[in-house]
Structure 1
Amino acid sequence: MPDSAPMRRVLYVEDDRINIVLMEEVFRRLPGWSLDCVEDGAQALQALREDKPDLLLIDMNLPDMNGLELLARLRAETPHAHLPCVALSADALPEQIAGALEAGFMAYWLKPIDVLQLAKTLHELGTNGH
């Protein structure tokens, strides 16, 4: 990636420190991308009022709200109605996955995260200019 190309940014909303550390390690190996982390929905909404990332990764079970509520509030309370969002959860129930996709998540990733899937999504976002 040329030095003049801007860094692309991901906001990761996750309250489990181990998951944050793992994701930070993945992003250390992804040139052209940076990772910012917050631990709950309120912090995510505040961060989104101040700046716009290229992608939002949302844990579905946060201490102050669930991922569906955070997505709804993101769409209603911030200027980022079309920000690509991915749901992350260890819960593989088909109805929960379907509900998240119907609510507007672009994808639903099961934990532990598939690093190749993450890299592919980031590449697609980078080449599509989101």
Structure 2
Amino acid sequence: MHSADQGLKVLYVEDDRLNIVLMEEVFRDATQWELLIAETGAEALQCVEDEAPALLLVDMNLPDMNGLQLLQALREQGQLPPCIALSADALPEQVAAARAAGFADYWLKPIDVPALQAALQQRLSSVEQT
């Protein structure tokens, strides 16, 4: 986990260690943001309650629930920050279902790091202004 004196918290919900390491690299120089990691949906729910992240990056296939179930649980918990789905599943109906459920965006894996950095910068800039 990265720490920052005062930065926006981004929660990455992912169970694949390689993807976690990659995301940590993406955030390494982004000192204005703090990257939090949860490896299960249950951990994510607890982290959202404890840390109030400004943005969630959610793997759609977690060990204990899928991304749609996590989004629903967050909604029921009464805490639903902007969420972006991450998945290797590029089927149009899966993307449409994620967006219909309330995901702000749907990013494909494998992660294109420069595109991810640009999208994060844009997304987090808009979060900072709200």
Q: Which amino acid aligns with 2:87?
A: S
The RMSD of aligned alpha carbons is 1.6
For residues 25-36 of structure 1, the aligned pairs below 5 Å read: 25-36=25-36
CA distance in 1, matches of 2:57, 2:101: 15
SS at the partner of 2:43? helix
User: TM-score, length-normalised on structure 2?
Assistant: 0.87
1:54 deviates by 1.1
Runs of 5+ in structure 1 lacking a partner?
A: none
Identity across the alignment (%): 57
- Which position in structure 2 is the counterpart of 1:18? 18
Residue of 109, 124, 127 corresponding to 2:125: 127
Preserved CA contact (<8 Å) 2:7 2:34: yes
Q: Which amino acid aligns with 1:88?
A: L
CA distance in 2, matches of 1:18, 1:68: 23
User: TM-score, length-normalised on structure 1?
Assistant: 0.87
CA distance in 1, matches of 2:12, 2:100: 21
Provide closer, same or farther for how the CA distance between residues 126 and 110 of structure 1 changes in structure 2, counting only shifts above 3 A: closer
1:116 deviates by 3.1
- Which position in structure 2 is the counterpart of 1:91? 89
Preserved CA contact (<8 Å) 2:27 2:33: yes
